[in-house]
Amino acid sequence: MVLKKLFFLLFLMLSINLVSAQNGIPRSDFWSNVRFGGGLGFGLNNGGFNASVSPSAIYQFNDQLAAGTALNFNYAKFDNDKRVAYGASALTLYNPLPFLQLSAEYEQLRVNLSQQVGATTFENDFWAPGLFLGVGYTNQNFTIGIRYDVLYDENRSIYLDAWLPFVRVFF
């Protein structure tokens, strides 16, 4: 349902932009400042694995500041349980130096937990928020770095640890 609303909103914005171009109304610079891309995340330890994919769109206010939104999908497999999560996030990117990117991201995920205890499987669905503060090395459209979840709760988080490496690309 959320995906349908997102596609409808995107279709509506593009339609309005096309109609205004045909009517001779001056076009704004809005779309020339929008960048699309996303991130990949991963985590490994002796007892598990976590991977995430998050396609994103950001608005580049200037050379240093950008803000936007992302859709998120996560998969985690621990010793006795499996977690699948999906949701959205809002992010802000700041480049104080051309090669350094600082980031803040609020993420809200719906987690589907399946836990195996002996021959019995327990299932639990819940919401898990995350507030990530990150730092990364940037080279043109590519950023690699690490982020920390200040709201991390080891019993409810989809992630193995509060520290997560990431790769981000925007075009």
Residues 11-59 pLDDT 10s? 555 555 555 555 555 667 899 999 999 988 777 877 788 888 999 999 9
Q: What is the pLDDT of residue 56?
A: 96
Q: What is the residue-wise DSSP string for 32-81?
A: GGEEEEEEEEEEEETTEEEEEEEEEEEEE-SSSEEEEEEEEEEEEE-SSE
Q: CB–CB of 144/167 below 8 Å?
A: yes
Other Cβ atoms less than 10 A from the Cβ of 87: the count is 21
Q: What is the pTM of this model?
A: 0.76
Copy the structure tokens of residue 152.
């991390």
Where exactly are the structural domains of the chain? 33-170
Among 116, 130, 133, 122, which residue's Cα sits nearest to residue 159? Answer: 130
What is the tens place of the pLDDT at every residue in 81-137?
Answer: 888 999 999 999 999 999 999 999 999 999 998 988 888 889 999 999 999 999 999
Other Cβ atoms less than 10 A from the Cβ of 147: the count is 23
Look-up of token digits 């699948």: 84
Statement: 33-170 belongs to CATH 3.30.450.20: no
Q: What is the pLDDT of residue 154?
A: 87
